[in-house]
């Protein structure tokens, strides 16, 4: 009887490379959200208004979404080790620029640099896992990568809020210095030295590169700023929309005319991969929308500060730690079953929050956040694997770039649509509630009389008391309209997630066996 053959495992150097890639993805995803908690303090010190201050976040997102799909081409041109070392160093430099900024232009300049060089750290981590680990260890590698990408945006508000409250907002950026030092050391140990192919710069798909950069950057700005600028009432938004359309036309021409396009959109012809992209886009829309809605509710309705809101958000990360020991085992189960279960859990958590009232507090979000975290784990982890299993190893880097770009663009699109929905629904609900609060409403008249009496009892006059009571009633109407609107948002997000369940049937699991992967060259 022949002895069973045990598949060869990854070497120590392979695991160091995976750890390096994961650490790089951590600081990149962390910096997306860590600044949000400190944004009011940053705006005050750099002299930015509320509208101007949004560019501190938008600048990061715009440059990051441009860099992510370029990463595969840059890895082939400069070598992955050279690219990651350069990006890690420059990401740290721009972090220090942000931490020392005293003006808004300086801060935006630093954030744009952070986003651009940090954008390469996310898809390369996924590529390292796929190319350095053998098939039987891929579930563990994908678990590490998935946890990093999921927990980064959740941990960011907690760390940012704590640093802002107890030290200074500048430490949100200075924190990157020691982390980047460890990242550079791991990259030097884990990735082999590679020869750059500078000649590929001459033969590059420059039409596609320029078209994609213009198209994605302008589209991201339109999505982020359109609602604040009242969309096409702004000439800037009109111009950016036209520029974005022209950029995508250039990208489409390059796809047809260039034998080696900078981004392989032909991967979308693969039904399994296309299904992954659609699902992760909707998950990105939902994930970032919830990261916006819950803090807005807790701060505006429940009176929570940024640190307290961050703790509630972090509850959805607890299932990741609880399931960590068994996640690699779970990922060997039926992929479609896991994603379907995750989508249903995620949708159910949204429906649990679709009955908000002004009396809700952070404790009322505990169970929905825990269920939401479970749903996120059960969807994002298998989808990471499905995105890699649907393509050949040669297309891994391109597939990782498209996958991460779809998640980030989904977030921008979700926030843009959410802003429009909230404004319109709030106005509609306020009008409906206000129409019921008339002189013929006994309840409204009783409430006005009660508040007028309270005001006059404190020494005010009758006319002033009535004005004060009317102002309080108007504020109550607006508050109720906002709460109902947030409930509507959770209904819509839950329905959107549920609508993705049929696409799960198109997913294809990664191959169970295959040759041992080699280091990327």
Residues shown for the chain = 521
Report the pLDDT value the prediction gives residue 5, as an integer from 0 to 100. 43
pTM above 0.85, yes or no: no
φ, ψ at 327 (rounded to 5°)? -60, -45
Q: Does residue 513 carry a pLDDT above 50?
A: no
Between 38 and 374, the more confident residue is 374
Residue that the structure tokens 């550079």 belong to = 184
Domain 10-201 falls under CATH 1.20.1250.20: yes
Q: Do domains 10-201 and 266-419+487-510 have the same CATH topology?
A: yes
Confidence of residue 431 (pLDDT cuts 50, 70, 90): confident
Rounded mean pLDDT of 209-218?
84
Does the pLDDT value for residue 503 go beyond 70?
yes
> Please, are residues 175 and 114 in contact by the beta-carbon 8 Å criterion?
no
Q: Which residues are CB-contacts of 368 (< 8 A; sequence separation ≥ 6)?
A: 349, 350, 352, 353
Tell whether the model's pLDDT for residue 445 goes beyond 70.
Answer: no
Q: How confident is the model at residue 500 (pLDDT cuts 50, 70, 90)?
A: very high
Identify whether the C-beta of residue 285 lies closer than 8 Å to the C-beta of residue 496.
yes
> How confident is the model at residue 424, as a pLDDT?
84
Other C-beta atoms within 10 Å of 142: how many? 26
pLDDT of residue 510: 62
In the chain, domain spans: 10-201, 205-261, 266-419+487-510, 428-483
Q: What is the mean pLDDT of the chain?
A: 80
Say what percent of the chain tops pLDDT 90: 13
In eight-state DSSP terms, residue 231 is G
CATH C-level class of 266-419+487-510? mainly alpha
**Torsion sign over Cα 336, 342, 345, 348:** negative
pLDDT at residue 160, rounded to an integer: 80
Task: Tell me the pLDDT tens digit for each residue of 289-310.
Answer: 888 888 888 877 888 876 777 7
Question: Is pLDDT above 90 for 435?
Answer: no
What pLDDT is stored for residue 340 in this prediction?
Answer: 92
Residue 462 pLDDT exceeds 70: no
CB 66 within 8 A of CB 184: no
Q: What is the pLDDT of residue 519?
A: 40
Is the model's pLDDT at 1 over the cut of 70? no
Judge whether 106 and 46 are in contact, CB under 8 Å.
yes
Query: Around Cβ 226, how many Cβ atoms within 10 Å?
Result: 20
CA distances from 53 to 17, 43, 166, 191, 231 (A): 37, 6, 22, 39, 19
For 62, residues 6+ apart whose C-beta sits below 8 A from its C-beta are: 112, 115, 217, 220, 221, 224
Taking only the tens place, the pLDDT of each residue in 131-144 is 788 877 777 777 77
Instruction: State mean pLDDT over 440-459.
Output: 61
Tokens of 357: 């009232």
CB 312 within 8 A of CB 365: yes
Mean pLDDT of 455-462: 60
**Residue the block writes with tokens 């950057």:** 217
What is residue 78's predicted lDDT score, i.e. its pLDDT?
84
CA distance 90 to 61: 17
Check whether 205 has a pLDDT greater than 60.
yes
pLDDT for position 347: 94
SS3 141: helix
Tens-digit pLDDT profile for residues 330-341: 777 788 888 999
Kindly report which listed range (159-168, 373-382, 442-451) carries the lowest average pLDDT score. 442-451
Mean pLDDT of 172-178: 88
pLDDT grade for 278, boundaries at 50, 70 and 90: very high
| Residue 454: half-sphere exposure toward Cβ, Cα within 13 Å | 11
C-alpha distances out from residue 431 to 44, 424, 434, 477, Å:
35, 11, 5, 9
Query: Residue 54 and residue 36: Cα distance in Å, rounded?
Result: 10
What is the pLDDT confidence band of residue 514, given thresholds at 50, 70 and 90?
very low
């Amino acid at each position: 009887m022949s002895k069973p053959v045990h598949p060869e495992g990854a070497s120590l150097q392979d695991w160091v490379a995976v750890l390096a890639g994961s650490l790089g993805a951590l600081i990149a995803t962390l910096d997306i959200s860590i600044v949000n908690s400190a944004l009011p303090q940053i705006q005050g010190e750099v002299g930015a208004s509320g509208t101007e201050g949004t560019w501190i976040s938008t600048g990061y997102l715009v440059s990051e979404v441009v860099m992510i799909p370029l990463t595969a081409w840059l890895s082939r041109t400069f070598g992955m080790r050279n690219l990651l070392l350069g990006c890690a160093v420059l990401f740290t430099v721009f972090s220090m620029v942000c931490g020392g900024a005293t003006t808004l232009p300086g801060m935006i300049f630093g954030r744009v640099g952070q986003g651009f060089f940090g954008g390469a750290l996310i898809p390369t981590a996924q590529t390292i896992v796929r190319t350095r680990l053998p098939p039987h260890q891929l579930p563990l590698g994908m678990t590490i990568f998935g946890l990093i990408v999921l927990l980064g945006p959740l941990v960011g508000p907690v760390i940012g809020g704590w640093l802002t409250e107890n030290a200074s907002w500048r430490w949100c950026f200075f924190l990157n210095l020691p982390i980047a030092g460890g990242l550079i050391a791991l990259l030097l140990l884990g990735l082999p030295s590679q020869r750059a192919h500078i000649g590929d710069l001459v033969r590059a798909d420059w039409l596609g590169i320029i078209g994609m950069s213009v198209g994605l950057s302008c589209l991201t700005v339109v999505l982020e700023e359109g609602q604040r600028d009242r969309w096409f009432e702004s000439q800037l938004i009109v111009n950016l929309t036209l520029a974005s359309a022209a950029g995508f036309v250039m990208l489409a021409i390059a796809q047809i005319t260039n034998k080696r396009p900078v981004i392989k959109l032909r991967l979308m012809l693969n039904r399994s991969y296309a299904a992954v992209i659609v699902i992760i886009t909707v998950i990105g829309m939902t994930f970032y929308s919830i990261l916006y809605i819950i803090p807005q509710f807790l701060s505006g309705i429940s009176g929570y500060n940024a640190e307290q809101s961050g703790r509630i958000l972090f509850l959805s990360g607890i299932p990741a730690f609880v399931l960590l020991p068994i996640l690699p085992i779970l990922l060997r189960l039926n992929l479609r079953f896991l994603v379907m279960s995750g989508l249903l859990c995620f949708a159910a958590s949204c429906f649990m929050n679709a009955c908000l009232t002004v009396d809700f507090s952070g404790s009322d979000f505990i169970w929905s956040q825990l269920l939401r975290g479970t749903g996120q784990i059960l969807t994002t982890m298998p989808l990471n694997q499905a995105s890699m299993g649907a393509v050949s190893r040669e297309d891994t880097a391109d597939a990782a770039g498209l996958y991460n770009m779809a998640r980030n663009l989904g977030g921008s699109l979700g926030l843009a649509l959410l802003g429009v929905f909230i404004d319109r629904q709030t106005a509609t609900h306020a009008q409906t509630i206000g129409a019921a609060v008339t002189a013929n409403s006994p309840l409204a008249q009783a409430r006005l009389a009660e508040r007028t009496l309270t005001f006059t009892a404190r020494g005010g006059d009758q006319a002033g008391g009535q004005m004060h009571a009317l102002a309080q009633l108007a504020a109550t109407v607006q508050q109720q309209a906002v709460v109902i609107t947030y409930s509507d948002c959770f209904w819509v997000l839950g329905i959107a997630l549920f609508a993705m369940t049929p696409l799960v049937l198109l997913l294809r699991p990664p191959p169970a066996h295959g040759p041992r992967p080699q280091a990327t060259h």
